């Protein structure tokens, strides 16, 4: 395979409130500088630099967010932004992008990846994508990356690996036995102990023809209307009627020709404020400061601080707090209650929608 065959699809249509007040309706997580000094979507593109040029990166997002995508990626060709009229989970997004890539390069291989993960280092990530591409071409495989678990996470889905089916340099490809939903604690511990289970990172690599064939077989209700619509024509009418199904369920759980490539470099989906220390090295007192703010810390430890731009955050004698200042809002809560941010967001829906 020559490098001209590689495409990437970045899924950037997500919304979410777990990073409120930094993430807002109008600026979801993928536009925040989490894990680096640039927005996550920009870091996602930079992570492909040298492997896939911007001309062959498609970004799928909503109409509301398209302008922000181009602000974060000023060199991205405008025609590479695919706008979904409404969000319908990942299967329609994957199908829409695959059809567009098929038009441009029917023999291509492409990677599908979320815009809001932290992955390091770039070199190992790219090496794993090369291995995945080789596996995808070896025998028309639907390839997914499986992250070696480091603790019994209950917040991730898992991939059960089976027999090894191929080797690609340092990477091994295994048959996928099953996809597992987010487990309870005990089952997560069993997964970790077995060594056969990997976190589902939601990153896929396949030949464009392979995934389109799988969609035709397992999700014709998604693919056929999109094929009939043609690109950006009639999407407004078709899209809301498509089932809002994850590609994992619509395709991966149905197919047989699926491989998982275990990886052990750093991957994090940074699901909430309390995940920040995973991707932002804490200082000697366990304080994690990110977003660009200057921090002035006196006798404070274990805090997670996010502030944007040319601002100052001063802490005196506080421990284990999450402190976020973003735009017109400030959030202060203990780390172990950060998940209750969603309650605040719910209340705001009733009492203060301007701050959503």
Q: Which residues bind a copy of itself (CB under 8 A)?
A: 21, 294, 296, 298, 307, 310-318, 321, 323, 325, 328-334, 337, 340-341, 343-344, 347-348, 351-352, 355
- Shorter beta-carbon distance to a copy of itself: residue 201 or 345: 345
3-state secondary structure of 144: strand
Least distance to a copy of itself, CB of residue 71, Å:
23
Least distance to a copy of itself, CB of residue 296, Å:
6
- Shorter beta-carbon distance to a copy of itself: residue 226 or 315: 315
- Shorter beta-carbon distance to a copy of itself: residue 149 or 334: 334
3-state secondary structure of 225: helix
Least distance to a copy of itself, CB of residue 26, Å:
15
CA-based angle 205:60:34, to the nearest 5? 85
Instruction: Give residue 159's Cα distance to chain centre.
Output: 16
The H or E element that residue 179 is part of is strand 171-180
Burial class (CB in 10 A: 0-12, 13-18, 19+), 284: exposed
Among 319, 281, 314, smallest CA distance to 302 is for 319
Least distance to a copy of itself, CB of residue 307, Å:
7
- Shorter beta-carbon distance to a copy of itself: residue 67 or 314: 314
CA distance 12 to 65: 8
CA distance 3 to 54: 13
Least distance to a copy of itself, CB of residue 325, Å:
5
- Shorter beta-carbon distance to a copy of itself: residue 213 or 318: 318
């Amino acid at each position: 395979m020559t490098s001209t065959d590689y495409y990437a699809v970045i899924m950037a249509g997500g919304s979410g409130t777990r990073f409120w007040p930094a993430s807002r309706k109008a600026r979801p997580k993928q536009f925040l500088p989490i894990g680096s000094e640039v927005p996550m979507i920009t870091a996602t593109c930079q992570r492909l630099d040298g492997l896939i040029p911007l001309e062959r990166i498609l970004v799928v997002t909503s109409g509301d967010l398209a302008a922000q995508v181009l602000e974060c990626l000023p060199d991205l060709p405008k025609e590479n932004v695919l706008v979904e009229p409404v969000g319908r989970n990942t299967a329609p997004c994957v199908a829409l992008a695959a059809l567009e890539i098929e038009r441009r390069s029917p023999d291509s291989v492409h990677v599908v990846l979320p815009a809001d993960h932290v992955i390091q280092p770039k070199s190992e990530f790219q090496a794993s994508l090369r291995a995945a591409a080789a596996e995808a071409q070896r025998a028309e495989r639907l390839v997914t990356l499986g992250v070696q678990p480091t603790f019994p996470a209950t917040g991730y889905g898992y991939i059960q690996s089976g027999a090894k089916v191929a080797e690609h340099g340092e990477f091994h490809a295994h048959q996928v036995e099953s996809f597992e939903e987010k487990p309870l604690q005990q089952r997560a511990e069993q997964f970790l102990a077995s060594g056969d289970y990997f976190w589902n990172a939601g990153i896929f690599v396949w030949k464009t023809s392979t995934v389109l064939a799988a969609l035709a077989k397992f999700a014709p209700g998604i693919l056929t209307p999109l094929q009939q619509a043609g690109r950006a024509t009639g999407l407004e009418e078709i899209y809301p009627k498509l089932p809002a199904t994850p590609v994992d369920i619509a395709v991966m759980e149905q197919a047989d020709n699926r491989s998982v490539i275990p990886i052990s470099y750093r991957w994090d989906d940074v699901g909430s404020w309390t995940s920040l220390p995973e991707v932002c090295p804490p200082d000697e007192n366990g304080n994690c400061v990110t977003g660009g703010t200057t921090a002035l810390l006196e006798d404070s430890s274990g805090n997670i601080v996010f502030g944007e731009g040319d601002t100052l955050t001063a802490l005196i004698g506080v421990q284990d707090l999450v402190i976020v200042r973003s735009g017109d809002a400030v959030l202060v809560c203990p780390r172990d209650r950060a998940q209750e941010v969603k309650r605040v967001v719910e209340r705001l829906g009733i009492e203060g929608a301007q701050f959503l």
